[in-house]
Amino acid sequence: MSSQLLRNDGRKPDQMRSIRFQNHIAPHATGSTLIEWGNTRVICAVTVEEKVPRWMKEQGVTGGWITAEYSMLPYSTLTRKERDISKGKIDGRSQEIQRLIGRSMRSAVDLEKLGSRTVCIDCDVLQADGGTRTAAITGSAVALHLAIQKLIKSGLLSQSPIKNSVAAVSVGIFEGRALLDLCYTEDVGAAVDMNLVMTGSGEFIELQGTGEESTFDGDQLASMLALGKAGIKSLIEQQNQAVG
């Protein structure tokens, strides 16, 4: 392939950055992993509480619940990011991402089989170089698998409530080309930015696509979706290896 077709970091348009999972990074969590995705690093930790939110009891909703929190640590970016607590409220972006993580994990789990308990997922970004939300979702799925394995081993669950694998990846149009897995410089300069959340069986959970002061046509959308699907397939394989 001509060097003109390579990206600034040497990758091909359909090539993802290297990914590594370091499991059991948080010893007091029920399940945890540090996902290193290129230069993006996110700790995903699962804690299980043997109770459900009050609204479930009040509304007579049976089964369990999965919720998530997401934050970028002050030193995760080139310039210090102020903590949400210092502002007195969570910023809109963080709120959007943690809701997305929760929705993604709930779509992959049979909440009735989970039982009357709450799974809390905490995602803390140690270093950001694009794709922090996709890394958080992909890492959370691994941490959740590890937590469920521990609950089964301890006898709290008789079978896994996980119905499917879940992973997420970014795609976009940068300098006229469809690219898979955008790093920070590509993300901020992209004409179109899209995040895909999918199951291991190839079903979509969520699509977030935006033209950044630009538009995109059907052919470009098809190109991005094809790249994203291939990326998800690779991620699912790496997740399966990580959880054994």
CA distance 24 to 53: 27
Of residues 196, 189, 201, 204, the one with CA closest to residue 228: 196
Q: Where are the domains of the chain?
A: 14-243
Q: What is the pLDDT of residues 134-163, one digit of tens each?
A: 999 999 999 999 999 999 999 999 999 999
CA distance 82 to 22: 27
CA distance 198 to 207: 9
Would you say residue 109 has pLDDT above 50? yes
DSSP-derived letter for residue 236 is H
Predicted TM-score of the model (pTM): 0.93
Predicted confidence band of residue 15 (pLDDT cuts 50, 70, 90): very high
Predicted confidence band of residue 4 (pLDDT cuts 50, 70, 90): low
- What's the length of the chain? 244
pLDDT at 90: 79
Predicted confidence band of residue 30 (pLDDT cuts 50, 70, 90): very high
Average pLDDT of the residues in 169-177: 94
Among 1-10, 20-29, 72-81, 165-174, the least confident range: 1-10
Q: What homologous superfamily is domain 14-243 in, according to CATH?
A: GHMP Kinase, N-terminal domain (3.30.230.70)
Average pLDDT of the residues in 54-73: 95
